[in-house]
Structure 1
Amino acid sequence: MTKTPFIILAGVLALAACGPKTNQTIDRGFDSKSLQDLTKTPGIWVDGDGCEHWAIDDGIEGYQTNRLDRYGKPVCGLLPPFTLHGPDAVGSPVPDPI
């Protein structure tokens, strides 16, 4: 009886590993291209904790990653929270549905 939850958990984990592997560096939207081909300059989005993220809006899709210092630590506290700075703040020619 005590082994049953572990057997079920092992089965669920085994099935979860069977999903298709997708290349996360490829844009699969209607204007699909490699993410290395993005030509816009990213802006900086600041989250509620004051930590900065590189952000770029490619129309319907948007991409972001943490902004890190040279030691790999997050950059936080330099800009006001919940703001977007840089050229990407003006948006994109493709309207977002939200």
Structure 2
Amino acid sequence: MTIRKLALMLCAGALLAGCEIGPDKSIDRGIDSDDLSTMKAGIWVDPNGCDHWIIDDGVEGYLSQRLDKYGKPVCSGIAPPTIATGDFKGGATSIIGDPL
């Protein structure tokens, strides 16, 4: 094994050693901490016409692309582009509320 290969393997090992699993993103860790599965989601349609899940709890907001079982975007046509629909503010906190 050459010194170059050995050096590359050591660098790769050092980089991977610094990797760790990130925080659980399915839980709201804000003022009114709660599991996101208990909040009501709506759908926001992006400018291309594809759906995104949206949740607004009054302090934080959550958005993720809606995907089918093959990982492809869902573009249902449920609303015009750039419009949000559904009870996505249903998880809003009563402590602070949403001024809009």
Short-chain TM bin: 0.5 to 0.7
Structure 1 runs of 4+ with >6 Å offset: none
Give how far 1:73 is off.
Answer: 4.1
Tell me the matched-pair count.
90
Give how far 1:16 is off.
Answer: 1.3
Output the CA distance in 1 between the equivalents of 2:67 and 2:28.
Answer: 24
- Which range is displaced more, 77-86 or 6-15? 77-86
Q: 2:33 corresponds to which letter in structure 1? A: S
When the two chains are superposed, the root-mean-square deviation of aligned CA atoms in Å is: 3.1
Larger Rg: 2
Output the CA distance in 2 between the equivalents of 1:86 and 1:50.
Answer: 16
Distance 1:9 1:47, change over 3 A: farther
State percent identity of aligned pairs: 44
Scaled by the length of structure 1, the TM-score of the pair is 0.63
Q: 1:84 corresponds to which letter in structure 2? A: A
Q: 2:18 corresponds to which letter in structure 1? A: L
Unaligned runs of 5+ in 1: none
